[in-house]
Amino acid sequence: MDSGQSASFQLLLVDDETDFRSTLTKRLSRRGINAHQAESGETAIDFLVTHPMDVVVLDVKMPGMDGMETLRHIKQRYPQTEVILLTGHTATRDGIEGIKAGAFDYLSKPVEFEHLLEKIKQAFEKKQRTEERRLEAEYKAHIEQQMIATERLAALGTLAAGVAHEINNPLAIINEASGYLSSLLEKPELADIPRKEQMGRAVEKIQKGVKRARAITHQLLGSVRKPEPVLVHMHPNDLVDESIQLVSKEAKDKEISITRESAKDVRAVWINANQIRQILINLIANAIHATAPNGQITISIKKREPNGITLVVQDTGKGIPKENLDKIFEPFFSDKPPGQGTGLGLFVTKEIVDKLDGSIKVDSRVGEGTTMTVHIPIQHLESQRQRGDDVGHQ
Ligand SMILES: Nc1ncnc2c1ncn2[C@@H]1O[C@H](COP(=O)(O)OP(=O)(O)OP(=O)(O)O)[C@@H](O)[C@H]1O
Ligand SMILES: [Mg+2]
């Protein structure tokens, strides 16, 4: 066995003969293997509770709990530990019985040292192979799970966007018709119709429902209010300021201060303003919702080498419990009261970030706050493309 293996290699020697144990331990140590010792089956069982072993070399003939019983205990509680039995020189039956009970192999006493060393090495290698196979199977299962989840989410995203698009038209019709109804109810000739008030309330309910449904379809479709060219030349600071402005009312009401910090070397870039704006609005809105009155939100902009920018939205809010960290990017996950959050903000944000080949990372501590870090690669356009070329330049 080489020393690299023996560094993390755990071996226990169980034998009631003190001399045999210490001689063997010394010889093993000269070969770079540090063996632990136990003088009885009972001591070995106790020792294993706190010290998991790779290999146990176990004498069969011991007073008290004998080797066979000890072996059964070990294999029952620690099936991954390999056991080599040392039997009396005529006790082949013990050896065979031992193998049936799960022993790796048996050697008859007196043992030939090199032979034992070879067996220990084989037992350790078997243990390692089993462990590797277990880890591999675990990893494979994990990756498969992840792939299923990712595919399901991607399919769901496409489907959701399609549904949102289809729903927008009937939604517009309902909106218009309910608007028409409410304007009719204002007309003097309908001033005295029966149940006018109830009708008014019903129309109001319809309009509220439409508003909520629209919030969902807008999130899913990327809420493009005015058509803009795909890329505009813009300083990220301006984009951040604009996004802060769009969600500032709620922050003002809660007296939350929003600060923008920008590294000096951040320059104007060609950027998809619509998409980045939607990312920022979703993140800042979440930060505002999570932060108590008088809290603080900081948005930092940094350059990211070799070509990109980093946007960090940091709040002093309630934080996200560990068990929710995996869920917050799932569609419709929300801790807001029914009717208040769509649970689509981060799902859509992640979709956009993925589309831009960027990344999003969340760091959060319950009771302290949350930091969302978004990296976005910036495309380099050919040099002849001047700022003024683009109609969307602002
Ligand atoms: N900065 C944050 N601090 C604490 N929790 C957050 C933060 N950002 C997101 N979350 C948690 O993640 C959940 C999902 O966020 P997401 O933006 O997807 O939906 P939402 O905010 O609930 O709904 P909507 O975006 O429509 O208002 C939130 O309900 C909240 O529990
Ligand atoms: Mg949100």
Mutate to test the pocket of ligand 1, among 328, 347, 351 (most ligand atoms within 8 A of CB): 328
Burial class (CB in 10 A: 0-12, 13-18, 19+), 198: exposed
Mutate to test the pocket of ligand 1, among 289, 366, 370 (most ligand atoms within 8 A of CB): 289
pLDDT at res. 249: 87
Q: Do domains 148-221 and 232-389 have the same CATH topology?
A: no
Tokens read off for 176: 């218009």
Q: How far is the CA of 208 from the centre of ligand 2 (A)?
A: 19
Residue 204: other Cβ atoms inside 10 A: 12
Cα 92 to Cα 90: distance, rounded to the nearest angstrom = 6
pLDDT at res. 229: 56
What 3-state class would DSSP assign to 384?
A: coil
Q: How far is the CA of 202 from the centre of ligand 2 (A)?
A: 28
Tokens read off for 316: 């002093």
Within 6 A (CB) of ligand 1 lie 282, 286-287, 290, 315, 317-320, 328, 333-336, 341-347, 370
Domain range summary for the chain, segments of one domain joined by +? 3-111, 148-221, 232-389
Asked if residues 33 and 1 have their Cβ atoms less than 8 Å apart, the reply is yes
pLDDT at res. 215: 82
| Minimum CA distance residue for ligand 1 atom 7 | 286
Distances (CA, A) of 360 to 137, 310, 311, 347: 29, 10, 9, 11
pLDDT at res. 389: 40
Per-residue model confidence as pLDDT tens digits over 330-359 = 888 999 887 778 888 998 899 889 888 899
Cα 365 to Cα 71: distance, rounded to the nearest angstrom = 47
CATH assignment of 3-111, among 3.40.50.300, 3.90.1170.50, 3.30.450.20, 3.40.50.2300: 3.40.50.2300
CA 106 from chain center: how many Å? 46
The low-confidence residues of the chain, meaning pLDDT below 70, are: 1-8, 89-90, 149-158, 222-229, 380-394
Q: How far is the CA of 313 from the centre of ligand 2 (A)?
A: 13
Q: Judging by DSSP bridges, how do beta strands 11-14 and 35-38 pair with one another?
A: parallel
Cα 64 to Cα 75: distance, rounded to the nearest angstrom = 19
Q: Judging by DSSP bridges, how do beta strands 82-87 and 55-59 pair with one another?
A: parallel
CATH topology of domain 232-389: Heat Shock Protein 90 (3.30.565)
Tokens read off for 23: 């001689």
C-alpha angle 300-301-302 in degrees, rounded to nearest 5:
120
Cα 96 to Cα 108: distance, rounded to the nearest angstrom = 12
| Minimum CA distance residue for ligand 1 atom 9 | 286
> For ligand 1, what atom is nearest to the CA of residue 329?
18
- The amino acid present at 61, given as its one-letter code, is K
CATH topology of domain 148-221: Helix Hairpins (1.10.287)
Q: How far is the CA of 332 from the centre of ligand 2 (A)?
A: 10
Asked if residues 363 and 370 have their Cβ atoms less than 8 Å apart, the reply is yes
Asked if residues 82 and 104 have their Cβ atoms less than 8 Å apart, the reply is yes
pLDDT at res. 380: 64
Using a CB cutoff of 5 Å, list residues around ligand 2, an ion.
286, 345
| Neighbouring residues of 136: CB distance < 8 A, sequence distance ≥ 6 | none
Burial class (CB in 10 A: 0-12, 13-18, 19+), 126: middle
146 sits in which H/E element: helix 113-186
198 sits in which H/E element: helix 196-221
Tokens read off for 33: 């293997």
